[in-house]
């Protein structure tokens, strides 16, 4: 695992602190709308998508949520390098049904998923670089993939391609619960950001907010020792401020992209949750009931345990401190 995962290698750093804040901000948005699947994208390259995806996913995993990163930038994949695992078989292999040796073969999603050095964090790498990523993403297979991963993971984070250059991320944005746009301080162009927002909105995507990456921080302002300064600090803003950032300038997207966007927004997506037949709904209801009862039983067991251990003893670490106090003087 590379040093880039600062939330794991240095959880006390102010950068990790910002990632935890970003995570919880996203968790709190959940109440209005489900926020299980998140797409991270940006306007152009090199704004910090992969770094932010990897660190955000790590902070989710650290809370005990089963977390999956999907490297959906099939043109310039990076996640397998960050987590130092093989890039194949991966997303492109699953979508195209072509295995890593070039043979046609149906591939199971779960076979492509690799565990990482971080507990609870899994990676679905990009797979072999395909000639036609957008075409692959438009296939029914992507919806099938979403079904499998949302059933198996608590949080799914897509590290997408930049959405102004190619339509890959725009396609994904309409299928995920929310999209986060990464911008780079003094680098991202406001027109570009506006255009990116327009495209995502146009296909029905839901933008959770904008992360402002690479903000410079003056060291002097923070005199407290353990909050030291750094160069990479993302902060999340509410969507309201996207509009603030965007101003009034407008730019026409090229005809080709326009046509493609039209095509994308016309493809029918079967809503995942409402497509169930009545029988399935009844099954769900019964399952929920069973789950509730099981939860109740578990809670009762836990409560009785709590009761038993009511005469609480200090933890091992506390015992060490108690010893040192006893020895004092």
Give the residues lining the site for another protein (CB under 8 A).
Answer: 11-12, 14, 17-18, 20-22, 24-25, 27-28, 62, 217, 220-224, 226-227, 233, 235-236, 238, 312-315, 317-318, 320-322, 324-326, 328-329
Closer by beta carbon to another protein, 278 or else 316: 316
How many angstroms separate the CA atoms of 137 and 291, rounded?
35
CB count in 10 Å sphere of residue 245: 15
Closer to another protein at the Cβ: 223 or 278?
Answer: 223
Query: What CA–CA distance (Å, rounded) separates 88 from 79?
Result: 12
CB of 10 to another protein, least distance (A): 12
| The Cα angle at residue 47 between residues 27 and 269, in degrees rounded to 5 | 55
Closest distance to another protein from the beta carbon of 148 (Å): 28
User: Cα 262 vs. chain centroid, distance in angstroms?
Assistant: 26
Distances (CA, A) of 113 to 88, 124, 174, 260: 10, 5, 23, 30
Q: Which of 180, 191, 160, 166 is nearest to 261 (CA)?
A: 166
| Nearest distance in Å: CB 130, another protein | 38
Q: Which is nearer to another protein, 238 or 281 (CB)?
A: 238
Q: Choose between 243 and 251: whose C-beta lies nearer to another protein.
A: 243
Specify the residue, 190 or 217, whose C-beta has the smaller distance to another protein.
Answer: 217
Min dist CB 224 to another protein, Å, is 7
Rounded to the nearest whole angstrom, what is the least distance from the CB of residue 116 to another protein in the complex?
18
Q: Cα(303)–Cα(168) distance, rounded to whole angstroms? A: 49
Number of H helices, E strands in the chain: 14, 8
CB of 236 or CB of 261, closer to another protein: 236
DSSP bridge partners of 115: 122
Of 185 and 269, which has the nearer Cβ to another protein?
A: 185
What is the closest distance, in whole angstroms, from the C-beta atom of residue 312 to another protein in the complex?
A: 4
Instruction: Give the contacts of 60 (CB within 8 A, at least 6 positions apart).
Output: 23, 67, 154, 155, 157
Relative to beta strand 121-124, strand 114-115 is antiparallel
> How far apart, in whole angstroms, are the C-alpha atoms of residue 20 and residue 135?
35
- The two three-digit tokens of residue 156, written as one number: 């799914």
Alpha carbon distance 140, 143 (integer Å): 6
Measured from the CB of residue 283, what is the shortest distance to another protein in angstroms? 31
């Amino acid at each position: 695992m590379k040093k880039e995962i600062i939330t794991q290698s240095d959880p006390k750093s102010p950068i990790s602190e910002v990632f935890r804040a970003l995570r919880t901000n996203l968790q709190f948005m959940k109440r209005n709308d489900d926020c299980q699947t998140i797409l991270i994208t940006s306007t152009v390259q090199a704004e910090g998508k992969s770094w932010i995806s990897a660190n955000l996913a790590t902070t989710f995993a650290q809370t005990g949520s089963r977390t999956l990163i999907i490297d959906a930038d099939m043109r310039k994949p990076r996640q397998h390098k960050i987590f130092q695992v093989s890039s194949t078989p991966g997303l492109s292999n699953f979508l195209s049904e072509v295995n890593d040796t070039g043979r046609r073969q149906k591939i199971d999603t779960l076979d492509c998923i690799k565990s990482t050095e971080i507990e609870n964090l899994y990676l679905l790498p990009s797979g072999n670089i395909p000639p036609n990523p957008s075409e692959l993403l438009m296939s029914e297979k992507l919806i099938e993939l979403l079904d499998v991963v949302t059933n198996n993971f608590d949080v799914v984070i897509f590290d997408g391609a930049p959405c102004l250059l190619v339509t890959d991320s725009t396609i994904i944005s309409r299928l995920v619960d929310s999209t986060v746009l990464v911008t780079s301080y003094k680098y991202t162009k406001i027109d570009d950001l506006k255009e990116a927002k327009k495209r995502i909105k146009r296909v029905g995507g839901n933008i959770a907010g904008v992360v402002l990456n690479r903000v410079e921080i003056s060291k002097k302002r923070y005199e407290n020792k353990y909050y030291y300064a750094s160069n990479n600090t993302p902060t999340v803003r509410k969507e309201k401020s996207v509009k603030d950032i965007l101003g009034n300038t407008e730019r026409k997207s090229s005809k080709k992209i326009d046509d493609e966007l039209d095509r994308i927004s016309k493809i029918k997506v079967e809503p995942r949750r409402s497509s169930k037949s009545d029988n399935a709904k009844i099954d769900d209801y019964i399952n929920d009931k069973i789950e509730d009862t099981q939860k109740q039983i578990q809670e009762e067991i836990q409560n009785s345990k709590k009761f038993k251990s009511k005469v609480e003893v200090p933890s091992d670490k506390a015992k060490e401190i108690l010893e040192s106090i006893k020895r004092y003087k």
